Chain A
Amino acid sequence: GQQLNQNPQSMFIQEGEDVSMNCTSSSIFNTWLWYKQDPGEGPVLLIALYKAGELTSNGRLTAQFGITRKDSFLNISASIPSDVGIYFCAGPIQGAQKLVFGQGTRLTINP
């Protein structure tokens, strides 16, 4: 089936550093979604992207919809302890009946 590949799979950073992660696919997506999962909870939507080249921000988070429509990027500026968690990219397939997810990027922050 269609796969979304996220990189890196894990990150260990210092508080205050900027973070970059990406998601790639062999197939074209018309929508890219970025979710965050806090420990013990379900994923929560951070940013939704609907157009190739689109750049969207949500506070310290910025996400981009790649021009090729086969990738997306998420950046976090000036990380803080509450940014810890797992970040997932996701995209709809089969007429948006199904949502497929990447493997996740686990972010750990050293104070």
Chain B
Amino acid sequence: NAGVTQTPKFQVLKTGQSMTLQCAQDMNHEYMSWYRQDPGMGLRLIHYSVGAGITDQGEVPNGYNVSRSTTEDFPLRLLSAAPSQTSVYFCASRIENSPLHFGNGTRLTVT
């Protein structure tokens, strides 16, 4: 049982480049979410999904897109990376009324 798997672990982008952060879970969790972690600010919710085909915005959605075509996968897209998006990104999932399970994160640097 792999849990929540995030790829890549590290990524460096130049300003304006696009990329997709991958997240997959094998626990048949309906709920999936993306957070970013910045020093002194804790974890802030970017987008979340309560099931396949359904997504919604969190606290800091600007500059990010998501889609949920399957229960297992919840990719996060940066269409035009900016230095302010330098952060550590965490994907998390859960079943209803249970705590979140987190992946090990993707460390993104935008130069």
Contacts and interface: CB of A to CB of B under 8 A. Distances in A.
Nearest to A44: B102
B99 A42 contact: no
A42 B42 contact: no
B42 A102 contact: yes
Interface stretch (B13-21, B43-51, B68-76, B79-87): B43-51
A42 B102 contact: yes
Given A98-B45, A101-B42, A103-B41, A45 B100 contact: yes
Given A1-B59, A98-B58, A41 B105 contact: yes
Nearest to B92: A42
Nearest to A103: B42
A100 B33 CA distance: 12
Given A1-B59, A97-B50, A97-B56, A42 B90 contact: yes
Given A42-B92, A103-B40, 7 more contacts: A41-B105, A43-B100, A90-B43, A97-B50, A101-B42, A101-B44, A104-B42
Interface residues of A, number: 23
A103 B97 CA distance: 23
A99 interface: yes
Interface in A87-108: 88, 90, 96-104
Contact of A43 (B33, B40, B59, B102): B102
Contacts of A43: 43, 90, 100, 102
Contact of A45 (B35, B56, B99, B104): B99
Contact of A42 (B45, B50, B97, B104): B104
9 contacts: A4-B42, A33-B99, A41-B105, A42-B90, A44-B102, A97-B48, A98-B48, A100-B45, A102-B42
A96 B97 contact: yes
A59 interface: no
Interface in A7-52: 9, 33, 40-45, 48
